[in-house]
Chains A and B, each alone.
Chain A
Amino acid sequence: MGVSTPGSPFLTTTVAQFEKLINWARASSVWPFQFGLACCAIEMMATASARFDLARFGAEMMRASPRQSDLMIVAGRVSQKMGPVLRHLYDQMLEPKWVIAMGDCSSCGGVYNNYAVIQGVDKIVPVDVYVAGCPPTPDNLLYGFIKLQEKIAREHPLRPVTEKELKTA
């Protein structure tokens, strides 16, 4: 994807404004996938419930179907058997989609430094934000989520990234 806008500053600014709108909408309405793997999932549920309330950011719509969700929070260690399933579910999500690796296990394997657990979920899906902790507290996850929102706001859904922007990013 990408609209080429060579040599037309007016068109470039229009596209930039339009991109801002799309990014605002995408960052304000990230629907997570209802997908818990281990103990981190308990903290993820706590994030969505009272006191922490992920709903304030418009992200409490935990969709059960991957087709309707935008964000996969990998909450827990991913065993070798779960790996293909996780990748399958990730592939079933519709673009644009993001991944948060929640906790040490899904970030790098954590305490499960053995043959049964995949050492970091970034070996099978592209991860946008890593949240450290074992398990991370709900406010840690919220912080990671806000970081993801900031990341989404910097994206370019309509045009390719220029080299200048790559350098400043």
Chain B
Amino acid sequence: MGPLWVVLAITAVKSLVVIVALLTAFAYMTWLERRLVSRFQVRIGPNRVGPFGLLQPVADGIKLFFKEDFMPSGADRALYFIAPGLAMVTAFTAFAVIPFGPPEVKLWGVPLLQIANPNAGILFILAVSSIGLYGIILGGWSSNSKYPLLGALRSSAQMISYELGVGLTLVSVILLSGTLQLPQIVEQQTLTWFGFLPRWNIFVIPVGPLAFLLFLIGATAETNRAPFDLPESEQELTAGYHTEYGGMKFAAFFVAEYVNLVTASAVAVTLFFGGWDGPFVDQVPLLGVLWFIAKVFAFVFFFIWLRATLPRVRYDQLMDLGWKLLVPLAILNLAITSAIVLIWPSLGGG
């Protein structure tokens, strides 16, 4: 590795590139979602603003930027201002530990295709996404209005309940890999079984598919996506925790939501679908980035599909699903995984 300032400079550039990429991804995810949901509903979708409506996110952004800046009377001024920023910053931070390419790509000894590699990568993601919850709660509370407060309470209850299930599910993946570091988890999945089947965690029958399913349900609930978008269900709560937010502050919450979705997709890809693993990556390491983006895109498409397909669940159904189904199944999965790893230690990453 080079001197400290080189490492810092490279890290700063990496972070900047990732933030710009995520913001662009956010803008075009809103476009993609509107187009796809329109298709699912036999409509056309935004097509007047630019070719294929491609300038729609730009117009939305400029419009939101030039909206009136607003503060509700009786709001907690500091917290009202901080909350959207907190939600957005934590959404970006969680992405920092995700490897989006092979670690061999280096510049002066610094891996280029991952921003940071702490030795507790998965825990870092769980911790940061939990801090993101504060953005929602503070936003709901500081607005001094009833709907945001109720939406924020719902959101916190929902996210804490599902955090349990997701956490337990992740423990079984950690057991399979024997490490908390995301690059190593991906590295293990680049191996193959019988010489052709990729050793992705999803293919570890029977625990892999079950863990993936539990993680997928939990991640949908944690990112507040349909069918679990109760914190912002409009027929009961107007717009949930961001009811009193307009203009750019609302846009910040919007960014946080979509970036969280990208992060959840990226975590699913990293833990279960071999991350950047794919054909020809060992010859051309940079190809890994493309495979990673393709896989994440597939997940994003899946989440949009889910939103266009399923109706919103009721609140008691949501809690029942979380506590009575996900948590017991996650514990069962954990037990089976432990047994398998005990019998066949080579699976547990040696």
A residues contacting B by CB (< 8 A) are 21-22, 24-26, 28-29, 34, 49-50, 53, 55-58, 60-61, 63-65, 67-68, 70, 94-96, 157
Contacts and interface: CB of A to CB of B under 8 A. Distances in A.
Contacts of A21: 62
Given A53-B44, A56-B47, A58-B46, A25 B245 contact: no
B234 A64 contact: yes
Contact of B59 (A58, A60, A94): A58
Contact of A65 (B47, B49, B242, B247): B242
A-B complex: 7 closest residue pairs judged by Cβ atoms: A25-B62, A64-B234, A67-B246, A65-B239, A28-B59, A94-B68, A95-B68
Interface stretch (B34-42, B170-178, B263-271): B34-42
Interface stretch (B50-58, B100-108, B112-120, B317-325): B50-58
A22 B63 CA distance: 7
Contacts of B44: 53, 55-56
Nearest to A24: B59
B244 interface: yes
A37 B32 CA distance: 32
Given A55-B38, A58-B59, A94-B67, A68 B48 contact: no
A56 B45 contact: yes
B250 interface: yes
A68 B245 contact: yes
A63 B64 CA distance: 13
A160 to B, nearest CB: 17
Chain A CB count within 10 A is highest, among B41, B48, B246, for B246
Interface string B221-261: 00000000000001000110011111100100000000000
- Judged by DSSP, the binding face of A is loop
Contacts of B239: 63-65, 67-68
Given A55-B38, A56-B46, 11 more contacts: A28-B59, A50-B42, A56-B47, A56-B48, A58-B49, A64-B238, A65-B243, A67-B70, A67-B246, A68-B246, A96-B68
B60 interface: yes
A25 B50 CA distance: 12
29 contacts: A24-B59, A28-B49, A29-B60, A29-B62, A49-B41, A53-B43, A55-B38, A55-B44, A55-B45, A56-B46, A56-B47, A56-B48, A57-B46, A57-B48, A58-B49, A58-B60, A60-B46, A63-B239, A64-B243, A65-B238, A67-B244, A68-B239, A68-B245, A94-B68, A94-B70, A94-B247, A95-B68, A96-B66, A96-B67
B193 to A, nearest CB: 46
B41 A95 contact: no
B258 to A, nearest CB: 14
B43 A58 contact: no
A70 B250 CA distance: 14
B316 to A, nearest CB: 22
Contacts of A29: 49, 56, 59-60, 62-63
B55 A28 contact: yes
Contacts of B68: 94-96
A51 to B, nearest CB: 8
B56 A28 contact: yes
A73 to B, nearest CB: 16
B112 to A, nearest CB: 36
A64 B66 CA distance: 20
B144 to A, nearest CB: 13
B38 A53 contact: yes
A48 B55 CA distance: 20
Contact of B63 (A64, A67, A70): A70
Q: Which of A56, A63, A68 has the most CB of B within 10 A?
A: A68
B42 A28 contact: no
A63 B238 CA distance: 9
Interface string B8-51: 00000000000000000000000000100010011111111100
A29 B48 CA distance: 11
Nearest to A158: B66
Contacts of B34: 55, 60-61
Contacts of B63: 25-26, 28-29, 70
A94 B48 contact: no
Contacts of B61: 25
A22 B34 CA distance: 22
A25 B59 contact: yes
B70 to A, nearest CB: 5
Nearest to A54: B43
A53 B41 CA distance: 10
A28 B48 contact: yes
A157 B66 CA distance: 10
A49 B41 CA distance: 8
